[in-house]
Chain A
Amino acid sequence: GESVGLHLPTLSVQEGDNSIINCAYSNSASDYFIWYKQESGKGPQFIIDIRSNMDKRQGQRVTVLLNKTVKHLSLQIAATQPGDSAVYFCAENKGVQGGSEKLVFGKGMKLTVNP
């Protein structure tokens, strides 16, 4: 397995529990935020996004909350399943109007779901 590089924070939950993964972003000019899931050996997979004119957005079993005052983003996963086990990254983007299309990724959190 992977054993070098930054130590990833880890969240372990029981199957069926709700999970909350948090992220602090740094750029107050960012106006688009995305949560990605990355399984071992694969590319980041889009989960849900939110624009800065919203503070909450819901998808299937997932909810993203945005608090611009404290520059905080969270991902809530309801009824966590073993297939949710992965590393989760938040990413921010300033958009074309902000002068940048690049995604700036956070450090990631490893979610482990125990059956």
Chain B
Amino acid sequence: EPEVTQTPSHQVTQMGQEVILRCVPISNHLYFYWYRQILGQKVEFLVSFYNNEISEKSEIFDDQFSVERPDGSNFTLKIRSTKLEDSAMYFCASSEFTSGSGDEQYFGPGTRLTVT
């Protein structure tokens, strides 16, 4: 069964450093998403991406964040200058298409980002 994959599984970085989290969505999917989950809390939406551009972003997704689809298979989340409060589990998700009323989003296993 096809699945979303993410690398690395755990990333430790120092405050102020740049990190890039990588995702390979399911191959025939057209919509891509990043969510994050701070330890013990609920999953929060960051950004959605379709047709090589951001289609929606949350207030969390400020100028320090960017997303890119550098090739036909990868989808990346970059945090330019990490802060302690960026420590969280970051999940990538993808969906096949939007039928006008939501479509199942498949989640990857996540990357645990620890900022020290």
Q: Mark B74-116, 1 if CB is under 8 A from A, else 0.
A: 0000000000000000010001001111111111111000000
For chain A, give the interface size range.
35 or more
CA distance A34 to B58 in the complex (A): 20
Q: Check A103 against B105 for contact (C-beta < 8 Å).
A: yes
| Interface residues in chain B, defined as those with a beta carbon under 8 Å from any beta carbon in chain A | 4, 31, 33, 35, 38-45, 48, 50, 55-56, 58, 91, 95, 98-110
- A–B pairs, 19, beta carbons within 8 Å: A5-B38, A5-B40, A8-B40, A31-B101, A36-B107, A43-B4, A44-B107, A46-B106, A52-B101, A89-B42, A89-B43, A93-B102, A96-B98, A101-B48, A101-B55, A102-B45, A102-B56, A105-B43, A105-B44
Counting from the closest, the 3 A-B pairs by CB-CB distance are: A5-B40, A32-B102, A43-B107
**Contact residues of A with B, CB < 8 Å?**
2-6, 8, 31-32, 34, 36, 41-46, 49, 51-52, 89, 91, 93-98, 100-108
